[in-house]
Amino acid sequence: MTKGEIVLGCLAPHPPHLVYAENPPQNEAFSEGGWETLRWGYAKLARKLKTIDYDAIVIFTPHWQTYIGTHFLGLPEFKSKSVDPVFPNLFRYNYDLRVDVELAEAMHEETAKAGIITKMMRNPDFRVDYGTITSCHLLNPDWDKPIVTISSNRNSHYYSNEVMIEQAKALGEACMKAIEKSGKKVVLVSSHSLSHRHFVTEAPLPEDMSREHIYNHSQYVWDMKIIDMFRDGKMQEVVDIMPEYTEQTIAETEAGGLIWMMAAMGVPSYPAEIYGYQSVIGTGNCIACWDPNNNTRELVL
Amino acid sequence: MSEDSPILFGLYVPPHPQPLLSPDANQGYSNLRAAFETCRKRIEESDADLILVYSTTWPSVVGHQIQALKESIWTHVDDDFHYLGSMPYNFKIDTDFANEYCSAAKKRGLHARTVEYEGFPIDTGSVVALSLLNPDNRIPACIVSSNMYANRSETIVLGKSASDALIAQGKKAVIVVVSSLSNRMFTEHIDPADDRIHSSKDNEWNEKILQFFADGRLEDLSQLSREIHGQIRVQKVVAYKPAWWLASAMGQHNNYQGEVLAYEALHGSGGAVIQLTPSTGSFGDKEFDEDDVEFYQGDRNVLNKENF
Ligand SMILES: [Fe+2]
């Protein structure tokens, strides 16, 4: 069997506003649009994904929060309605998705071997979180590839951002081993915003773009600093600065997704492709991807 | 009870699913289950029109959310304890009260909204509490979220708004706070038979809090909230808020009869079932450090825009 590989790593933010703004048939809410900079960026990245040969999407989500280890979705199908507990007015999405259970089990096994507490989730009534659904919908609206969802173990709450980083690194390396052994071509997705301070009020029309802006300038400056490092391929520096960045901007990187993805990809030193940056209810969101293939990597923005 | 309070009594209960899903896995879980059942009977024997739940496992971002869907039906599964089983629920919600609570909160300066959507994910803590305290929907319920950015003044005002709304509708309520005491769980899977409080420090603090509850010293606990947060709460949110909400809804004093019905470990965290009933005798008010607040006027930022 040929060695499996990671063919792309995507930073894919999941404000439900983006699905809401698209008006797909799966979502019950109706919008007049909004947040085009991010949606158009997503559309371009989704087109790139169509040109890539891959078997499964593996996604790390902050909205399946576990405190007792790292959990993996472990049943072949999930069909239900996902209602966002924070923005139920925007996101009530009927999903019907497939899971690559074989790959999930392989990652679970390697993760356990690495000494990480881990668990397969096999309850058929479990609702898949809206982070997974939003990022996967925007990257692959056809839903024609199986996924694996990995929960986020909240080490930053229980210990510190430094501990979170160590564990996320170990998890990424274990997942990489499992992918190599599986012989599969895999797209990794780290689903989260960058800076993550929300406004606590909402405009009467949530998609009223005259009301949308970053929560404060400090968040913006930090986000730009991180994105510049993405562009320059300085991912080791991003990893090093992550505790400070996460604390200063209460970034959604606290869940560990970006570190997990970078560790699995061997901490890239090539430039990321940037697809867009925009605020959503005050939070900073960047769409980016790391393409390990020198021939297909582009300067997008 | 005091004649003018719309709140017959208050309950403090834990959010974890073990008392509902696996009460026999550990003697402590079944003690908690028995305490829930005692409370259920007391609610049945009271003339409450409504059960109002404030849940620390329902975080909100856009203001304060209030459950208003008349028939809230779904099957809930916990993020961590999915292997213990599913929690089907069918709750009867008092929509009129939810709307009243929302407008009362707005009158006091809060950003609040009702949620009324089929399939809305009611949180584990609320599902456990309502399933055990009101299994046959004998009386309607309502649930309010805990805003993740809200601090003391917002939470105090949110509690007062609950009382305003009950008075406005002439309803008597049992109010329920869903929260652990110490909330540090074990970070590995354990044999339930081996469950214990995560550390002696957590246990000592829990015992101290329980003494205050048993003495009916609710406002003293409210005043101690920031200290409790620093000592025994994993820093997931900005503050330990349940005592603020409970005290401001029931009355900011120490005139309560307190009863601790159970205190046990739940995967390392402190789970207690406590009842507080308004009474005439007081333990005596201590000197309070923190001001009272009637209306929410926004966060007091150090740098105000008007200064520039
Ligand atoms: Fe998120």
Residues of B in contact with A86 (CB under 8 A): 59-62
pLDDT at residue A89 above 60? Answer: yes
What is the block-wise mean pLDDT of chain B (308 residues), using blocks of 10 residues? Answer: 78 98 98 98 97 96 95 97 98 98 97 96 98 96 95 96 98 98 96 97 97 95 94 88 97 94 98 95 66 81 52
CB-based contacts of B66: which residues, under 8 Å, 6+ apart?
B98, B101, B102, B105, B112, B113, B114, B115, B142, B143, B144, B145
- B59 → chain A, closest CA residue: A86
pLDDT, position B1: 42
Specify the CATH number for the domain of residue B82. 3.40.830.10
- Domain assignment present for B159: yes
Sorting pLDDT into bands at 50, 70 and 90, what band is A1? Answer: confident
Mutate which: A17, A66, A86, vs B, most B CBs within 10 A: A86
Domain of residue A222, CATH code = 3.40.830.10
Using the Cβ of B59 and the Cβ atoms of chain A, whether some distance falls under 8 Å is answered with yes
State which residues form the domain around B288. 7-307
Kindly report the nearest CA distance between residue A145 and chain B, in angstroms: 24
Q: Does some domain include residue B134? A: yes
Q: Residue A277 domain-assigned?
A: yes
Print the domain residue range for A266.
5-290
pLDDT at B308: 42
Q: Is residue A65 part of a domain?
A: yes
> How many structural domains compose chain B?
1
Tokens of A259: 């570190």
Q: Is residue B2 part of a domain?
A: no
Cβ A201–B186 below 8 Å, yes or no?
no
**pLDDT bucket at A144, cuts 50 / 70 / 90:** very high
CB contact under 8 A, B123 and A68: no
CB within 8 Å: A86 and B61: yes
The domain total for chain A is 1
What's the pLDDT at B284? 65
Per-residue confidence (pLDDT) for residue B64, from 0 to 100: 96
- Judge whether A62 and A155 are in contact, CB under 8 Å: no
Compute the nearest-CA separation of A199 from chain B (Å). 7
Q: Residue B293: its pLDDT value, please?
A: 87
- Is residue A192 situated within a structural domain? yes
- Does residue A300 belong to any structural domain of this protein? no
C-beta atoms of A202 and B75 within 8 A? no
For chain B, say whether A167 makes contact (Cβ under 8 Å). no
B-chain residues near A65 (CB < 8 A): 79
User: Which chain A residue is nearest to residue B65, measuring alpha carbons?
Assistant: A86
Residue A131 belongs to a domain: yes
Residue found by looking up tokens 């139920």 in the block = A88
Q: Is residue B1 part of a domain?
A: no
β-strands B256-266, B269-278: how paired? antiparallel
Q: Report A:60-89 residues touching B (Cβ under 8 A).
A: 64-69, 71, 81, 83, 85-89
Domain assignment present for residue B12? The answer is: yes
Q: Which of B58, B72, B77, B80 to mutate to test the interface with A (most CBs of A within 10 A)?
A: B80
CA distances (Å), origin B189, targets A66, A72, A270, B177: 12, 15, 40, 27
Query: What is the C-alpha separation between B143 and A98, in angstroms, rounded?
Result: 34
Q: How far is B150 from chain A (nearest CA, A)?
A: 9
User: Is A10 part of a structural domain of the chain?
Assistant: yes
Q: Is residue A301 part of a domain?
A: no
- Which residue in B56, B57, B61, B102 has the most chain A C-beta atoms within 10 A of its own C-beta, making it the best mutation to test that interface? B61
ipTM > 0.90 for the complex: yes
Minimum mean pLDDT among A146-150, A254-258, A282-286, B285-289: which range? Answer: B285-289
Helix segments in B111-241, DSSP class H:
124-133, 152-169, 200-214, 218-223, 225-232
Q: DSSP character for A118?
A: E
Instruction: Give the model's pLDDT for residue B3.
Output: 53
Average pLDDT over residues A33-42: 98
In angstroms, the CA B209 to CA B181 distance is 8
Residues of A in contact with B82 (CB under 8 A): 71, 121-123, 126
Chains A, B: CB contacts under 8 A, how many? 93
Nearest CA in chain A to B86: A125
* Shortest alpha-carbon distance between residue A93 and chain B (Å): 10
Task: Report the distance separating Cα B30 and Cα B7, nearest Å.
Answer: 28
Tell me the CA–centroid distance for residue A64 and ligand 1, in Å.
10
Q: Do B62 and A86 touch (CB under 8 A)?
A: yes
Contact A85 B62 (CB under 8 A): no
Each residue's pLDDT tens digit, B84-124: 999 999 999 999 999 999 999 999 999 999 999 999 999 99
Which among A83, A123, A151 has the least Cβ separation from residue B121? A83
Tokens 């400070």 -> residue: A244
Q: How confident is the model at residue A156 (pLDDT cuts 50, 70, 90)?
A: confident
pLDDT tens sequence across A46-85: 999 999 999 999 999 999 999 999 999 999 999 999 999 9
